[in-house]
Chain A
Amino acid sequence: NAGVTQTPKFQVLKTGQSMTLQCAQDMNHEYMSWYRQDPGMGLRLIHYSVGAGITDQGEVPNGYNVSRSTTEDFPLRLLSAAPSQTSVYFCASSYTGPGGEQYFGPGTRLTVT
């Protein structure tokens, strides 16, 4: 089991560029989510999905798109990067149900100049 994998680990973008952060899990988890972590602000939920074809917005969705075409993959797209999107991004997955442990990927450090 690879668990939750994220690529790339590091990325530098220029303002206005677009990119996709990849996330995959091999645990057959229904629930997947994306967080961003900024100093002093903890982890904030961007988007989440409770199954293939179903996505919803979290706390800070603006500037990000997601889709969930398979159970395994949940990519996060930045359409036009802004310096305010400089952050560390984490993908997580779990079985649905609140008691389930969320398994986190190793994170992607994104810098937008």
Chain B
Amino acid sequence: AQTVTQSQPEMSVQEAETVTLSCTYDTSESDYYLFWYKQPPSRQMILVIRQEAYKQQNATENRFSVNFQKAAKSFSLKISDSQLGDAAMYFCAYRSRNTDKLIFGTGTRLQVFP
């Protein structure tokens, strides 16, 4: 069975600085997708970025980028130029091509200080 591990329960960053959130996963599959979701205090789950395992190029969405290391089974999220609105819980998730099920990590709470 696949597992997703986020080893940082909490992180903090100063406004305008850069922060990296870690995620590792375990799978025997070669084809899958990885996601980062943001959950602000409103509780709404918002997709931040997605990465297909077969794509070598790291995904980027504006200030958000990932460092995808397939061999190491690592999928970290980098937030550049952090803003107060980035404060939230961030969840890493894995989705198998075979089952459609989405498996989440336990989350990292990000605080942003002015």
Contact = CB atoms under 8 A, between A and B. Distances in A.
B103 A101 contact: no
A87 B33 CA distance: 27
A61 interface: no
Most buried by A among B4, B43, B91, B107: B43
Nearest to B1: A59
Contacts of B103: 45
Interface stretch (B14-22, B60-68, B71-79, B93-101): B93-101
A106 B45 CA distance: 8
A7 B83 CA distance: 32
B47 A101 contact: yes
A102 B44 CA distance: 12
A97 interface: yes
A88 B42 CA distance: 12
Interface residues of B, number: 23
Interface string A29-72: 00101010000111111001010000000100000000000000
Given A98-B95, A99-B33, A106-B43, A58 B101 contact: yes
Given A104-B45, A106-B44, A45 B102 contact: yes
Nearest to A109: B43
Contacts of A107: 43-44
Given A40-B106, A98-B96, A45 B101 contact: yes
B104 A43 contact: yes
Interface in A73-113: 88, 90, 92, 94, 96-99, 101-102, 104, 106-107
Nearest to A90: B45
A52 to B, nearest CB: 15
Given A43-B104, A104-B44, 6 more contacts: A35-B104, A41-B106, A58-B101, A90-B45, A98-B100, A106-B43
5 contacts: A40-B106, A44-B104, A48-B100, A97-B100, A99-B50
